[in-house]
Amino acid sequence: MDKVLNFKQGRVPLLISMPHAGLHLTPAVAAGLIPEAQSLPDTDWHIPTLYDFAQELGASTLAAEYSRFVIDLNRPSDDKPLYVGATTGLFPATLFDGVPLFIEGKEPSKAERATYLEQIWTPYHQTLQQELARLKAEFGYALLFDAHSIRSVIPHLFDGKLPDFNLGTFNGAACDPELASQLQAICAAHPQYSHVLNGRFKGGHITRHYGNPAQDIHAVQLELGQCTYMEEFEPFRYRQDLAEPTRVVLRQLLQGLLAWGQKHYT
């Protein structure tokens, strides 16, 4: 495998994880995808660009290089389902629309997938774990923001149009409820955007596994409707005019996380 992740260490107790931003494919996955999947439609498009102000805030960032079509870094290694109903697994078999992802008989082999687990999934999670441990050792606590985006209308996965900002704290288990309330209040201060806490998206494996308020690690997932910053269909163009107002809210959310941590732990 070539480079499997992009990690930049920051100077404040916040790590931003971007597990679905990757665009690289392995030869086996590239050869097996159905034509409709070759444009990688289920990618969390442009997330590193959208959050490129993170460095200015001093946050650490961790972004995947490989597509979720190779292996989904926001699923547990045992592939235990996270949601009731339609969802995708550690090795996705379908597009978000429910259509089979691979040409029949062209899926990667078990041996190839074992390699993806060892060489792509494991390094990402080791880096995530090590950075959270470093932040906690240095600051006494760590904040984890898992950054995602998704097409705003996907009938196979959810009814109607998704709210713009979907905050997930695994029903309060992954972060302090006061922190979640403050993040909700920030969203509410921007009524041009809709928002929800622990709606259809409550946080995937990363939020659930690493968020542990009793151990002073607070994790929040944001699933952002892609209509707030880009064109949702090919060629998936980034829209600066849409993105800039959205980035104002994102910046305030991250600043809110940091301000809460500073106040809560000093």
Question: Tell me: the pLDDT tens digits for 78-118?
Answer: 878 765 555 678 999 999 989 999 999 999 999 999 999 99
Mean pLDDT of the chain: 95
3-state secondary structure 112-139: HHHHHHHHHHHHHHHHHHHHHHHHHHHH
CB atoms within 10 A of CB 158: 18
Mean pLDDT of 3-12: 97
What's the pLDDT band for 204 if we cut at 50, 70, 90? very high
Q: Is 220 helix (H, G, I), strand (E, B) or coil?
A: strand
- Beta-bridge partner residues of 16: 61, 145
Q: Is 250 helix (H, G, I), strand (E, B) or coil?
A: helix
Query: What confidence score (pLDDT) does residue 156 get?
Result: 82
Mean pLDDT of 35-48: 97
Query: What confidence score (pLDDT) does residue 85 get?
Result: 55
What H or E segment, with its residue span, contains residue 145? strand 142-150
Q: Which of 16-30, 73-87, 247-261 has the lowest mean pLDDT?
A: 73-87
pLDDT tens per residue, range 58-69: 999 999 999 999
Query: What confidence score (pLDDT) does residue 158 get?
Result: 87
Query: What confidence score (pLDDT) does residue 157 get?
Result: 86
Q: Name which of 165, 171, 180 is nearest 245 in CA terms.
A: 165
Query: What confidence score (pLDDT) does residue 136 get?
Result: 98
Q: Name which of 101, 96, 199 is nearest 153 in CA terms.
A: 96
- Beta-bridge partner residues of 33: 102
The answer to whether 30 and 66 are in contact (CB under 8 A) is no
Q: What share of the chain in percent tops pLDDT 70? A: 97
Return all residues near 53 (Cβ < 8 A) that are at least 6 apart.
Answer: 247, 251
Q: Which of 5-9, 48-52, 95-99, 179-183 has the lowest mean pLDDT?
A: 95-99
Query: What confidence score (pLDDT) does residue 208 get?
Result: 96
Mean pLDDT of 63-78: 96
